[in-house]
Structure 1
Amino acid sequence: MATKPSGSVQSEVDGTGGFEKRPLGARLVSANTFWIALVLIALIIVFTALRPAEFATVFTFQTLLIETSVLLVLSVGMTFVIITSGIDLSVGSVLIFAGMVAGKTMEALSPNGQATGAGWGVITVGLIAAVVAGTVWGLLNGFLIAVAKIPPLIVTLGTMGAALGAAYLLNNGSDVRSVPTALNKSLGYGTSLGGVPNLVLVAVVITLIGAWLLHTTKFGRYTYAVGSNAEAARRSGIGVTAHLLKVYLLTGFLAGVAGFMSLAYYASTTISAHTTDNLNAIAATVMGGTSLFGGVGSVLGTVIGVFIPAVLKKGFNITQVQDFWQMIAVGAVLIAAVWFDQRRRRQRNSR
């Protein structure tokens, strides 16, 4: 009788515990994404029932989409990292640093250091500066983790503080507030395609590319393989070191893009508004069904995980419930998601 390969990628992806065929319904019910999607739907139904005239409106959902756009981009990168059984605590600080670099670059290229009236040439250079800044931090994280073999928790905890400190140094501890009006009006608050905010469109495109990369390409298969069993992946010919370097590079790149998006939306670097973005991205990714133990996860699940805290916050505000309850509710959902993942793993390993 053929033996079932331990830690197989297929086993991790579909959560079946092996390659045996199971009914679609059974596979769906066993998936974390299914249950977390039910939680999101239930929240929407409850708040709609409580305040139909205020919650179930186009304006409310449009606002939800805008408010989650930056976090969604961060969380897409975090999904890749956690699937490899890693972690990145630095993405929030890298976002701040990238936004600061973009802001200072656009100021330096503008007359009298005021970027308010800058054109698209200056804005393009600012975008490139933000992306490069984020990518450099991602490269540093990847090198220290994949090549120097330092644990991801320690590396990204260190770069989290370093990136934030560097951002403060760039502008003497204060925010950059001179942002091109054209950038704020077009990307920050501009709309297209029937009123869809441009910021949301950017987030959607990045999310779709991330889903394609993770679920249909060799890069995605390698990501699952490394997270399932790094040693087995190495023996099968996968360059684990190089792949981890690419994953953290991708995460840094996306943090740079998110930093520029935030700059466009707030017309400022808003340092204080992003100090917990790293934890929010991790929580959203894990709530969406991505396993902290590696090898399991999906971009769709992450999208759902991003919207749960956002819906809770919006719903509590509309129903005039204190925001503190949102923190309790999100914490409960996060713990439940991790418990469900552990339970599923124990059941699979006992077979």
Structure 2
Amino acid sequence: MSVHTPAKPTTTDPGSSRANPNAVDADTPVGALRRILRVQAFQILLVLVVIFIIFTVMAPTAFPQWTNLRQVIQNMSILGVLGIGSTFVIITSGIDLSVGSVLVFSGVVSAKAMIFVGGDGWGTALVGLVVALASGLAWGSLNGWLIAKAKVPPLIVTLGSLGAALGLAQVITGGVDITAVPAVLSDNIGYGNLVGTTLPLISVIAIVFLVVFGIILHRTKFGLHTFVLGSNEEAARRVGVKVDRQLISVYALSGGLAGFAGLLSLAQFGTTAIAGQSQTNLNVIAAVVIGGTSVLGGVGTIFGTAVGLCIPAFLQNGFVIIGVQPFWQQVAVGFVLVVAVYIDQRRRTAASRGGGGMRTASLTGLLRRSKN
């Protein structure tokens, strides 16, 4: 007489390829490709490539030429520096509407300081750099202190700073732009090229900043704490992150970079351009969000911000070349911005439902690394 013994049940990881025959191992090339395709910064890069191809086909003798692209790259340089600070701020789930006005104020006090010192050499330019950085750091630190210590919402604080910094710049100058800029700044940084190339030096400076702060964001404890703070502030406090100090530092960084951008603006335009930065705040924030940094905090990359800056710049330049009113660029950027935020919210909704474990695992990994 034979006795039938039931098969021993097997336990299969529901996330493995055995449980789901259609699943692709993440370690395989196909799995890695799928992960890359799901990254919003890469998706935006594909959009940028499509835009470039379209304008190249429509204006093959003008748009893809280096002389034109060089101008586009040069025009993005200042926004690139500002975008770094805004990326850090938005990752903390904050906002900084004051960067354009801080840029103007820093440029004004820097120009005044250089006029007071006198001369056109690097010594005078160094004084201007120190003053610009100091003024930007002061505004950023004030913003951070009010947000972290006084608990005033970032939107209100930076909106107030937007008006105050611009108003003080107009008070100092009487509303008249300062045009006395040391020649060494204009000739070497504003219009100069990297030695042996035709690449604008101001763009090289912006690229170096993007690379350095990209490393800081993704490879240092300061960047890690920024992500943890934006993901879950209470969890950040529990693992020992000094939340108030981190917030103040992030906003100080944004202000300091805006101050440095003020000096770059002086070098590029040869004037303080008080009335020329009215859309800077929105352009920078739009570029950061389009590049994949979440307005809800905890997600973002410097690479994505760089790509996000390219889209409005290429659109504006391409529209001008093909004879379309450049105002349509604002419509296109607005559309892309809304779509980017919509996609981000859909992803977060999906993570909170079926894939919430992925979000939790990501935060857990950040918290563990922050303890080390």
TM-score past 0.5 threshold? yes
Match of residue 343 from structure 2: 340
- Displacement of 1:282: 0.3
Pairing 1:22-101 to 2, within 5 Å after superposition: 23-101=31-109
Cα distance in 1 for partners of 2:46, 2:37 equals: 11
Q: CA RMSD in A?
A: 1.3
Deviations for 1:207-230, whole angstroms, at most 9, x for unmatched residues? 111101001111111110000000
Cα distance in 1 for partners of 2:203, 2:313 equals: 15
Cα distance in 1 for partners of 2:121, 2:334 equals: 44
Pairing 1:166-205 to 2, within 5 Å after superposition: 166-193=168-195, 194-205=197-208
Pairing 1:105-184 to 2, within 5 Å after superposition: 105-110=113-118, 118-184=120-186
The partner residue of 1:308 within 282, 307, 311 is: 311
Cα distance in 2 for partners of 1:21, 1:160 equals: 46
Q: For the Cα contact (< 8 Å) 2:26–2:32, is it kept in 1?
A: no
Which amino acid is 1:177 matched to? T
- Displacement of 1:162: 0.4
Cα distance in 2 for partners of 1:324, 1:133 equals: 33
- Displacement of 1:182: 1.9
State whether structure 2 residue 281 is matched by structure 1 residue 278: yes
Cα distance in 1 for partners of 2:204, 2:45 equals: 22
Cα distance in 1 for partners of 2:184, 2:245 equals: 40
Which residues of structure 2 form unaligned runs of 5+?
A: 1-24, 355-372
Which amino acid is 1:276 matched to? Q
Match of residue 9 from structure 1: none
Which amino acid is 2:189 matched to? L
Deviations for 1:303-349, whole angstroms, at most 9, x for unmatched residues? 00001000000100110101121111111100000000001111111
- Displacement of 1:118: 2.1
Larger RCO (CA under 8 A, 6+ residues apart):
1
- Displacement of 1:64: 0.9
The SS at the match of 2:43 is helix
Match of residue 218 from structure 2: 215
Which amino acid is 2:203 matched to? V
- Displacement of 1:26: 2.7
Bigger radius of gyration, 1 or 2?
2
- Displacement of 1:192: 1.6
- Displacement of 1:29: 2.1
Cα distance in 2 for partners of 1:47, 1:241 equals: 47
- Displacement of 1:196: 1.4
Q: For the Cα contact (< 8 Å) 2:83–2:287, is it kept in 1?
A: yes
**TM-score, normalised via structure 2 length:** 0.86
State whether structure 2 residue 298 is matched by structure 1 residue 298: no
**TM-score, normalised via structure 1 length:** 0.91
Cα distance in 1 for partners of 2:38, 2:352 equals: 15
Which amino acid is 1:332 matched to? F
Cα distance in 2 for partners of 1:329, 1:336 equals: 11
Number of equivalent positions = 327
- Displacement of 1:21: 5.8
